[in-house]
Structure formats: C-alpha cells, structure tokens
Amino acid sequence: MIPTSPDDRDFPWWLLAVVTIGLWMFAQVLTDETYAGVLQILQKGIWTTIYVTVIAYTLACILGLLLALAGMSRWLVLRQIARFYVEIVRGIPIIVLLLYVAFVLAPAMVLAWNWCMGWLGLDPIRTRDFSLLWRAVIALTIAYSSFLAEVFRAGLQSVDKGQIEAAEALGLSGWQRFRHIVFPQALRTILPPLGNDFVAMVKDSSLVSVLGVTDITQLGKVTAAGNFRYFETYNVVALVYLTMTISLSLVLRNFERRMRQR
C-alpha cells in the first residue's frame, strides 16, 4: 500500500479559495482598462522572467550536480573546494551576490577575456557589451548551484551502498554505476526539493529588476511610476507571479504523486 500524506486526503479548500480569488482578479483585468493596460505591458516581462529562470536553473542544476560529485570525491582537494564554494555562496544574500556579479565579477571576466583575446590578436570587447540579463543569469546560477549541490549530495548519499557494491561486483564502471544505479534512485528522492527550488527561483528572479532587466517586477515598477496606479499595477504583478508559481506547484505535486505510485 502506498503511503499518503494528510494533504493528499484533504479536500483542497485552499486551492478553491485561490481559484476563486484568481478568477475575480482576472475578471477585473478583463473588464477594467487600467488592469488590462498593465497586463499588456507586463506580458513582455513574463517571457524575460521565464527565460532567466529556465536558463539559470538549468545551469545551476548542472553546476550543483558537479559540486555534489566533487564533494563526494575521493580526492581531498576536490572535496575542500566544493565545500568552500557551497559555504561561501550560501552565506551571501542573493541580492548582494547579484550586485557583486554584475559590477565586480562581470567586469573582471571582461578583462580576462580581453587579455586572452590580446594574445590571440583579436579585438577586445567592452564591459557594456556584457548584457545585464546574462549577468543576472550568472548570478542566479551561482547562488542556486550551492543550494542544489546540497540537494544532489543528500540524494546521492541516500542510495543503499549495498546496491553500489553489488554493481561494482558485476563489473560496472564508475560511470555505469552512477548512470544506471545511483542517479535514477537519487532522482526520485530529490525531485520534490528540486521542484521547490525551481518555484523559488521563479520568485527570486524578480531580484534581477535591481539591474534594470525588464522582467515582470521591473516593468511593474516602471508602469506604476508612470501611471501612479500602484494598487492596480502591483495587484497585476502579484497575480502574474501567483499564477506562475501555483501552477508550477500543482504540476510538480501531481508529478510527485505519480512517481510515488510507480
């Protein structure tokens, strides 16, 4: 028998309340010219938010997995480097890291790139050519990779060592053991926290507005500053974010339920 949590048995009254409020707010958007105008402006920012979130999260997952493997390596140097990275990055607020990457790390990267290009006889690039959007993506990647590294590490360590030893006895290489034995089982364990971090990144992507990236939050600030309708503008901003995050949460919860049934 598959264990279920109380949330799985309860009628989702909270979802009914959210849907009711959401439908009322969408009705306001469709019938009120001010709300409709704000939503039309924010549509451009929605795609920017989705782009930043998907790219940054994908890169953060790759880097986080590499950090987790380094942290579990037999080599002391790799373990210490991974732990150093994770502890330092996790100790810095994301908005501070965002500003640091945008105005310190990015110019340093440009200088290093130009130095390499000088040796090759190629034309240098200017710091202004390094777009703020990609600086934001790099910052979110660095920030979330440290959290995801711990998620991956916990999942990989949860796999029974007996199965790994059995696979080793059968002659499977390290990569084959990881691909066929360790990672598939770890993935089932880490899917819920990975999903939660993805939803969290959708919300934290709003921080890129401090760099002037035209996401939902930035366009909301510009719109409110222009029409002075702060109540209506930020109602629509909140509605857009809630629609995105709650929809993702429901999809992920349904996916997790199906995974438990297998």
Domains and CATH numbers, the chain: 42-261 (1.10.3720.10)
164: tokens are 């790994």
In sequence order, which ranges of the chain are alpha helices (DSSP H)?
Answer: 6-9, 13-31, 33-71, 76-90, 94-100, 106-120, 132-157, 161-169, 174-177, 183-204, 216-227, 230-261
CA 103 – CA 20 distance, rounded (Å): 44
Prediction pTM value: 0.86
Q: Are 58 and 228 in contact (CB under 8 A)?
A: no
pLDDT attached to residue 29: 75
Q: What is the pLDDT at residue 59? A: 96
How far, in Å, are 16, 86, 92, 178, 240 from residue 213 at the CA level?
A: 34, 27, 21, 39, 17
- Per-block average pLDDT, block size 10, for the chain (262 residues)? 55 78 78 85 91 95 94 91 94 94 91 81 79 93 95 87 78 78 82 90 92 91 90 90 88 78 65
DSSP labels for 77-100?
Answer: HHHHHHHHHHHHHHTS-HHHHHHH
Contact 28, 35 (CB under 8 A): yes
Residue type for 158, please?
A: S
